[in-house]
Amino acid sequence: MKKQKNERSPEEIEAARIFGRSLRRLREDRQLDAKDLAGAVLIHVDTLYKYERGEREPTILKILQLAQVLGVTLERLLTGEQKRPVLRVMR
C-alpha cells in the first residue's frame, strides 16, 4: 500500500508531537504568551498552536528562529532534552 503524499509516518507524527510538547513547555517556562512568540518569528498564533499540537511542521528557518527567541539549542527545542557534552580527561 502506497503512502499518500500528505500522509505522515508514525515516526514523523511522534517527532512532531515531541517537538510540540517541547515548544509549549519552553514557551510557558519563559512565561511567553503564544501571541508574543508567534509575532517574534512572524507567524500567526494559530500556526504556533498547530506546531504545539503536532498538527503542522515548521520550516527549518522557523525552527532556528524559535530556538533563538527561546534562547535554547536546536537539540533542546527539537527533543526537549539537552545532553551534556562528554568530557574526556587527557593523561
Reported as a single tens digit per residue, the pLDDT across 35-59 is: 999 999 999 999 999 999 999 999 9
**Which pLDDT score is estimated for 23?**
98
Task: Give tens-digit pLDDT for 61-84.
Answer: 999 999 999 999 999 999 988 776
CA angle 73, 11, 77 (to 5 degrees): 15
* Cell 593523561 -> residue: 91
Contacts of 22 (CB under 8 A, 6+ apart): 76, 77, 78, 79, 80
Q: What's the predicted TM-score (pTM) here?
A: 0.83
* Cell 532556528 -> residue: 64
Task: Give tens-digit pLDDT for 1-32.
Answer: 555 667 889 999 999 999 999 999 999 999 99
